[in-house]
Amino acid sequence: MGLRTLVASTLFAAAAAFAAPDRPNAAPAGRPVTIVMLGDSLTAGYGLPERDALPTQLQRLLTAQGHDIVIVNAGVSGDTVADGLTRLDWAIGDDTDAVIVALGANDMLRGRDPAQTRRDLDTLLGRLAEKKLPLLICGMLAARNLGPTYAAAFDPIFPDLAKKYGASLYPFLLEGVALDRSLNQGDGLHPNRDGAARIAAALIKPVVDLAARVHRD
């Protein structure tokens, strides 16, 4: 390498470092973007072999399309938003570049006070915002048999808090899958392999957009 080329390369590297955003979690160019999916049984893959769980199917699709993104499954069956909050520090490692938050279904199924779910999710997202991690929120909708009053309090939690924290929003994690018997297991609540595949396919664009924010934000 000639002296002129060496000096130019050094100056370019220094300029790039000076211009880089002050965010210690930003993924350096040349390594995969690591995205943690923090969720409940819908993320963990309840009733499915690991290869058919939503994060695994999402990973396969991303890899097949040439995206240098790693999806980490941080789903725990039965978790409410409050449960996710209690394990946040160890679920979100130092190598995490962005987070998908997919919690809230169990709050709804247990009929928890939507005001408490809102407070818990607000706290959780605030903690993640302090880490300057780009966020994608996968929303949930209340089962209509809980009544219009409950739905009116529960459903807006996710879009409201996504707006507050500047997070991306996928409005309803089970879009196109909920209530379709062919896409759910026998309990009618958890997606089967095909249901998880449909969700994974729908999440490709939001997740790719999320990964792009890692280097931009």
User: How crowded is residue 93: how many other Cβ atoms within 10 Å of its Cβ?
Assistant: 11
Kindly state the tokens that stand for 96: 């995490």
Phi, psi of 176 (to 5 degrees): 80, 0
CB 179 within 8 A of CB 141: no
pTM of the model: 0.86
pLDDT at residue 27 in the model: 52
What is the per-residue pLDDT for 215?
77
Residue 82, token pair as written in the block: 């409050």
Confidence of residue 1 (pLDDT cuts 50, 70, 90): very low
What percent of the chain is predicted at pLDDT more than 90? 84
3-class DSSP assignment, residue 34? strand
Fold of 33-216: Rossmann fold (3.40.50)
pLDDT score of 100: 98
Question: Who contacts 55 (Cβ-Cβ below 8 Å, separation ≥6)?
Answer: 37, 43, 45, 71, 72, 73, 75
Name the residues annotated as catalytic.
Answer: 41, 187, 190
In the block, which residue shows the tokens 């994060």? 55
Nearest partner of 183 among 103, 106, 173, judged by Cα: 173
pLDDT tens for 86-129 read 999 999 999 999 999 999 999 999 999 999 999 999 999 999 99
Return mean pLDDT, the chain.
89
Look at 1-5, 28-32, 67-71, 178-182 and tell me which has the smallest mean pLDDT: 1-5
The pair of structure tokens assigned to 199 is 């969700």
Each domain of the chain, given as residue ranges in start order, spans 33-216
pLDDT at 106: 98
